[in-house]
Amino acid sequence: MIVYVSGKYSGDIDANIQKAREAAIELWERGFVALCPHLNTAHFERDCKVVYATYIAGDLELLEKCHAVLMLKGWKKSRGATMEFKHACKCGIPIFEDIETLVEMYAD
């Protein structure tokens, strides 16, 4: 099962990447496949000359391939995570705000 990790990126970018990384690690350790866009494009805002809309379009494309979405704490303060949430709703992809509930729902 592929779980998309959604959360705030901007602001304290390093801390937000680390938070997403920790969630991705926990998902992998619990038997899920984590798709973590924070790690996929870490620090591309300075290293890559692609506009924000391109990243979001790509992230939404990836999200559509996932079976569930994990929304990290503070996601409502993120424009991108809010778009991901709305897109998941539109696509009928289950959304979770904590790993425990996700595990309970999909335990073997």
Q: pLDDT tens digit string along 91-107?
A: 999 999 999 999 999 87
Q: pLDDT over 90 for what percent of the chain?
A: 87
Q: Is residue 44 over pLDDT 90?
A: no
| Residue 43 included in any domain | yes
Side-chain-side CA neighbours of residue 37 (13 Å): 26
2 falls within a domain = no
Q: Count of H helices and E strands in the chain? A: 6, 4
Q: Give the count of domains, the chain.
A: 1
Q: Is the pLDDT of residue 108 over 80?
A: no
Task: Tell me what the mean pLDDT of segment 71-79 comes to.
Answer: 96
Tell me, yes or no, whether 18 lies in a domain: yes
**Residue 82 placed within a domain:** yes
- Residue 14's pLDDT is 96
Does 1 fall in a domain? no
Domain span at residue 26 reads: 7-106
Residue 12 lies in a domain: yes
For residues 60-85, give the mean pLDDT: 97
Q: Is residue 16 part of a domain?
A: yes
Q: Which amino acid is at 56?
A: I
> Which residue is listed with tokens 């890559």?
48
* pTM of this structure: 0.94
